[in-house]
Structure 1
Amino acid sequence: MAEVTPTGRATGVTVVGLDAAGAPPHPALAPVLAAAGLVVGAARHLASAPVPAGADTVTLGPLAPAVRRLTDAVAAGVPAVVLASGDPGLFGIVRRLRAAGLPLRVVPAVSSVAAAFARAGLPWDGAAVVTAHGRDPRAALNACRALPLVAVLTAPGAGAAELGAGLVGWSRRLLVAEHLGAAAERVREVTAEQAAAETWADPHVLLSIGDVATADTAPADTARDRVAPGGMRVDNQPAAAPAGGWALPESRYAHRDSMITKSEVRALVVARLRPRLGRLIWDVGAGSGSVGIECASLGAAVLAVERDTGSAAAIRANAAAHAVDVRLVIGRAPEALTGLPEPDAVFVGGGGVDVLAAVAARRPERVVLTLAALDRVAPAVGLLRTAGYTVEGCQLSAARLADLPGGSIRLAATNPVVVLTGERQ
């Protein structure tokens, strides 16, 4: 923390947010600026603030020179002020200054995210806030694909146009907030296709809004326990593990002719797929959709591919019952895989060698498949190794407790299954 002298002057670094919503500066700004010997900020912030005539200034570009000047000021006991946008603790400069070991006092203003939700008249206590600035934007895109309410701090080349293009095929409303707090402020609601076709001012905030059913007919410990009206989770954790767990019994899913990955196998498969917020997982030959739905419950974006229309109806019903958003593509693999967004991991629950070959050709980080026929194991392992994957596998066989007449208990064996995991080298 910044130290305070007996006269009340801060001797460390005071980081002051300038209101993204256009409100007057915080009352603390004037006195800390009046006492400052060094003021750091973007050109627009320095121009808009009452910087004292005797203070040194540093215009932000690369951060390293500014950090050196701030470090020298702290060592010399010179009060320093950093001007930033909105709440500088929200994906802002506070993290970098703390990493440099600088003593900080932070005076936040309304963040651009809070301002965007306010302009739209929307609550955002159930929203996930992510950034596409300075990092791979696919994680932010997949968060929008997975969750019903996401705010994205954008960057040039990773804004509403690019994210909109990646959300085509997902049921999303997009609100784009440009020039917040300025005379040119504009907040528009558009479709993903419209967002992709337009040019947007930088920086802007994107709100991605989905429609997740609350499923009044959902079983206990599923949708009713986790989701409030409007899609917000009641546990205040928009991407946390589901309270009801995963590897759920088959009875928790609608399925046809027992065409469902058994819970014991599903537990290992989901673990191998490593679902989390920011990843996109394909469930190919989805059947009941149980694997993909449990990955979605753990925060991943999920795209299910299924050729059978009856099974497709079950996937839709199961996704609604578990209050997750799974994009469904009805078609026969491998043809149905053409043009789909690149996955991070793929579960192949159905199809032959041609499907596995098509999946491996897309080069996801991980490929997981289950096989009941032993004569298909060696060709699958060979194909994945030829495609550049290291492969590990195991055979799972479970025996479940079953009651016998008279109160006795026996073990009822389930069908053994081979689980293969390919990891890209």
Structure 2
Amino acid sequence: MKFECFFLLVFSFSIFCFSQSVDENNTFYQEAIQQIRKDNGKSIKIYEYLINNAKNPEQKINYELDLIKIKVFVSKDIEALDIYFGIQSEVEELDNTEIKDKYYIIGSDLASYLGFKDYSEKLYKKVKSKDEKWLNSIHHKFLDLRKDLSVYSNTKNQIQSELNANVVIDSLNKTTNDVERFIFLKRLKTYYLTTNSLEKFADYNSQLTSLNERLNVEKRSARNHLVNKLLEQNKLRIDKEDKNIQTLSIIFSVILLGFIVCLIFYKKKVNTIKTNLISDKVENEILIKLETFEKNKGFLNQNITITTLAKELDTNVKYLSSILNNVKQKSFNNYINELRIEYIIKCLKEDKKFRLYKVSHLATLSGFASQSSFTTFFKLVTGTTPSVFIKKMTENED
């Protein structure tokens, strides 16, 4: 039924195009953008139709640039990259500064969203317009989306009530878009943590962790895809500049070597690139050992350090740090301290005698070296102090 409705829509639109002005056609184009939150698949098909039936090259490229934004929104980053690089030659051949600026802005935002700051800045330097209002209207808020997809960033549009939470849960159950699911799950996790609904918090936190791991795999694939595209560009540029095989070989080797050096340097700045240096087999082995470490509550050891843990897991600090940063998306200290807080919260929930202990004793039981560090991190995770948390938990049960 959806399939038939879509083609009825396309047929109606084809008649509409022949009888309406360009301005009216643009109105339909803007409406297609808004469809993304109602029906991702329909919006994409409408855009594909618009691209195939564009009145001129400028209109076609404008549709394709907006389709890039939609592809990112539905977590199809690789497809977005393919469209971006696929229209590069068409954009460069156009004598249209505005479209070229739009192309470079979206490319810069996309590169920054994927974590390639240097390449992002390189693209943005090509933008000629100085009209800040127009420039801001072109930005797709890729950076905002990147923040939304970070597990530990602050949640925008926080849920304020149970009624609001039920609306979000209904939206979560209806959407098939992983990006929207991620944002909904993060909002629900935050809400139920602040309301001390620990069972619901644990449920949505578990779902969020699972989805986060899958999106991280997709994001790493997209980053690798971008690297491959840049390498292809370098090769094409070299082929165009010099037909001589010997000269081509020398130039390409120098550029490739320089690119590899840049990647190594960039790796030190962006932790996500480090994962590519570890084989899947080694990564899985370390993750399994980390799971055993967590089950055995090794994090309760006050003297544990990243060095001692790496030795215990039979790996090195570099690999362990990379996996914690990229897979767990946490620093070593945050990883250990969050496990400790989750542990003590579970104890407080399951055994009321823990609620009678002094905060200093709870700090010691959870592996913290001092009460102050325990209180600080407890408040960072739960949003309140241990004493207030215990008081609210007791009152809710009464």
What's the TM-score bracket when you normalise by the shorter of the two chains? Answer: under 0.3
TM-score (ref. length: structure 1): 0.26
Q: Which has the higher strand share?
A: 1
Higher relative contact order (CA 8 A, sep 6+): 1
TM-score (ref. length: structure 2): 0.27
